[in-house]
């Protein structure tokens, strides 16, 4: 499992020019899955993302989590996170979970994150989404469970 975490001032997802989800201050999670991902990895990643201390405290030090800040969370599926660009010019997606598996992993990940923190919104799995964000900082992290 791989997640790109972005601390955002705001973020939104549109599908077919219709607003699907939007958040204010919080984190945007772009998530990609492999077929071998397990329930334990999903839980580990959910907790890691929610507990990351990437928001500044009173002293200006990144020492607070999205939960500490009572921020919002937006989760967007992105199979391209496992794109392999080492050979040629077209990425290979052989490491990405097939859609039939990825949708189950995605749904379960959203459930797990929501069980730890209530203010969670999401894009639409498999849709062609327009994701807009204002990155705060900027702060962007890549988390691999491997």
Known catalytic residues? 78-80
Contact 30, 106 (CB under 8 A): no
Could you give the angle at the alpha carbon of 73 between the alpha carbons of 69 and 78, nearest 5°?
Answer: 145
Contact 65, 43 (CB under 8 A): no
For 16, phi and psi rounded to 5 degrees? 50, 45
């Amino acid at each position: 499992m791989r997640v790109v975490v972005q601390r955002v001032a705001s973020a939104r997802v549109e599908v077919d020019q219709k607003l699907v989800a939007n958040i204010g201050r919080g984190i945007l999670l772009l998530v990609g899955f492999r077929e071998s991902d397990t329930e334990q990895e999903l839980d580990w990643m959910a907790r890691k993302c929610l507990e990351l201390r990437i928001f500044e405290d009173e002293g200006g030090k990144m020492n607070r989590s999205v939960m500490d800040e009572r921020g919002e969370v937006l989760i967007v599926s992105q199979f391209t996170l496992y794109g392999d660009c080492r050979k040629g010019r077209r990425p290979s997606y052989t490491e990405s979970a097939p859609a039939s598996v990825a949708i189950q992993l995605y749904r379960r990940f959203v459930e797990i994150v929501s069980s730890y923190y209530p203010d969670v919104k999401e894009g639409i799995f498999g849709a062609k989404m327009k994701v807009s964000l204002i990155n705060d900082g900027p702060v962007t992290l890549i988390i691999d469970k491997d």
